[in-house]
Structures are given as structure tokens and as C-alpha cells.
Amino acid sequence: MTHTLLCLREYVPEGNIFELKQTGKTEVLREITDRARTLSILPDDRATSDVFNQLLKREQLGSTGIVNGIAIPHCKTDLIHPDMSILIGYSSLGIEFEAHDGNPVFLIFTVLTRKKSGTIHLAALAAISRMISKYGLSTHISDYLKPEAIRRIIDECEYEI
């Protein structure tokens, strides 16, 4: 079996790390999809609305707010360009995200992939989970609520898939 490296930095260009202004789940998901539209990850308003609705529908299945202030909303859609994009929003105020531990979320990794992108979607979720563990994001989250700190760990993360 051949292994390749998934380098998160390839999917998180500079504009994809940003401060979130909203504090509610629905509003934050709208803010994230609007950002994707501004960055031309989503081509138009219809695509932006569709992806927003897909993220909401995924959240209805169960919150992607894991524990200790982190959420990883995700969906597959053929409306994005390129094949995968990861947007990282941070909030020093905290976001009511209905996380499993009942606490607010401060760091949101949103993974958008094309439907026919194979297993890269799962690989990205696994890479983010490994990064959270490796850098102790969930226990030292306040250290990572600035773009420079997030960029540093994203640039260092390479995982075999």
C-alpha cells in the first residue's frame, strides 16, 4: 500500500483563517459560508446558500462541536472550487454550538470537499483530530485564538494517509 502525505497548509490559504464575529451556531455557519463565497471557494450566492443548508442539515444529525471548545463542521458538495478547502474561524467570545460537553466553542475547522474527492474528506477530519491532540488545542485553546498561532501549526501538520 502506498502512503501519501496530507499537508493541511495546502488547503488553508491565508484568507481561510479569520476571526468570527457571530456567537450563535446558525449565524456562525452563515458567516463561514459567506467567507467561502468572498474567497471564491463558492462560486455564487446559490452555492453559498446550498452549502450553508448542508452544514445546517449535518448539524441536525448531531453537533460537530466536539469537546473543549472545538467544532469541525463539514460537508461534501460539488459546488466548491478547489476539490477541498478548510476554513478556520476563531472567537475569543465563544460560540453556543451545542457541543457535546455543553461548553462554548472557540475554534471551528470547517471542511468542504467535492463529492467525488474520495477519502480525502475523512483524511482531513483525521488530520485535524491528530493536530488537535498533538498540539493540545483542546487544553490550551486560548493560545491558539490568533491567526499567527493557527497558521504555525497548520504549516507544520503533515499526516500519512
Q: Which residues contact 59 (CB under 8 A, 6 or more apart)?
A: 25, 29, 73, 98
DSSP 129: H
The pTM assigned to this predicted structure is 0.94
Q: pLDDT (tens digit, 9 = 90+) per residue, 77-135?
A: 999 988 999 999 999 999 999 999 999 999 999 999 998 877 888 889 989 998 998 88
> Rounded to whole angstroms, how far apart are CA atoms 157 and 113?
19
Please give the residue range of the domain that contains residue 126: 5-160
- Number of domains the chain contains: 1
> Rounded to whole angstroms, how far apart are CA atoms 70 and 95?
10
CATH assignment of the domain containing 155: 3.40.930.10
Q: pLDDT (tens digit, 9 = 90+) per residue, 22-74?
A: 999 999 999 999 999 999 999 999 999 999 999 999 999 999 998 789 999 99
> Rounded to whole angstroms, how far apart are CA atoms 83 and 60?
25
Cβ burial, residue 12 (10 Å; 0-12/13-18/19+): buried
